[in-house]
A and B are shown apart, each in its own frame.
Chain A
Amino acid sequence: MRRRLTTALALAAATASAHAEPSLVSGPEQADQDEIGDQAIGAELGVAGGGRVTPGGLRIAGHYLYQLSHQDWFDGTASFTYGGGEARCFRDRMDTFLCDHGFTDGSSVEISANVRRVFAPRGSFHPFARAGIGVALVRFSGDDVSGLAFPLHAGGGIRARVAPGFAVVAQADVQLGLGLFGHGLGAEPQLGMTVTAGAEFRLR
């Protein structure tokens, strides 16, 4: 009788331990379960907001994710921004060239290197933070103004698995940096934001 009771208690304890495991797992192990995998690719569509000499408009981005650690992934991103092309620059009375582009003017091509840190899941959603640095070719065709920008990125998002190896992602990002422009503009600050959503596929 006593042996039976001991065996039952041991089994119950083992079962309880097994069921409790997901909530006791620390962040790194939970990140493993996110199914990003060792490598993944993603595509996103959204909007970018800029102003002055920061481009904005429709944003299309492609991602390549490579696992660095239990929680962190390298996120190499190539993005394209397509905005309006109206001329918004002029020479003031002191003959200084100024630009005052709108929220969704200009276009750019950017590649950036980022690190994505995945946090413990909240229900079906896996939140993550992201930071990195990029280099972008920026153009405002209406004013024939082009430049090279070096934005720093910081943002975050959520990822939800919808099928094995397939997830949907939504993220927001702010950019702060410096752009070097021709046409007498010189160095100008870059300040913008993006909101995108898309899908990710696990490669392996």
Chain B
Amino acid sequence: MRTVVTAIVLLAASSGGCGGGDISREVGARCDTARDCDDRCLPPSDDFPDGLCTLDCQTSDECPVDTRCVDKESGVCLFTCNFTTDCSFLGPRWECNEQNERADQNVKVKVCVGG
């Protein structure tokens, strides 16, 4: 019984925390230049494998659902996660890592970035 409850809790936790792959020109699409995106392209690099369309931000209120504003690249929205498997929709080289939140750098948030 305990095993079943644990499995349900883990499943809920893993499905509840991450964006789950709602890819768009706004956030999540592959890109090489800003022309590929609505706002900003983080070009292909170790931090952003295959490139990532995202939005500039200063607070998470400016980010779409399932994303947070982190202190990278002067503030960008990245997909939230709990485990690396939550980031698999972005590609095999993406991992779930802790980053500083842009608005309060004492606050850590788990987001998908390149491994």
Contact = CB atoms under 8 A, between A and B. Distances in A.
A90 B89 contact: no
B23 interface: yes
Interface residues of B, number: 17
Interface residues of A, number: 9
B25 A93 contact: no
A170 to B, nearest CB: 37
Contacts of B38: 87
Interface of A is mostly: loop
Nearest to A91: B30
Contacts of B23: 90, 92-93
Interface in A62-114: 87-93, 95, 100
A132 B49 CA distance: 49
B31 A93 contact: no
B36 A93 contact: no
A89 B26 CA distance: 11
A100 B37 CA distance: 13
A87 B39 CA distance: 11
B90 interface: yes
Interface of B: 21, 23-25, 28-31, 35-38, 50, 53, 89-91
Interface of A: 87-93, 95, 100
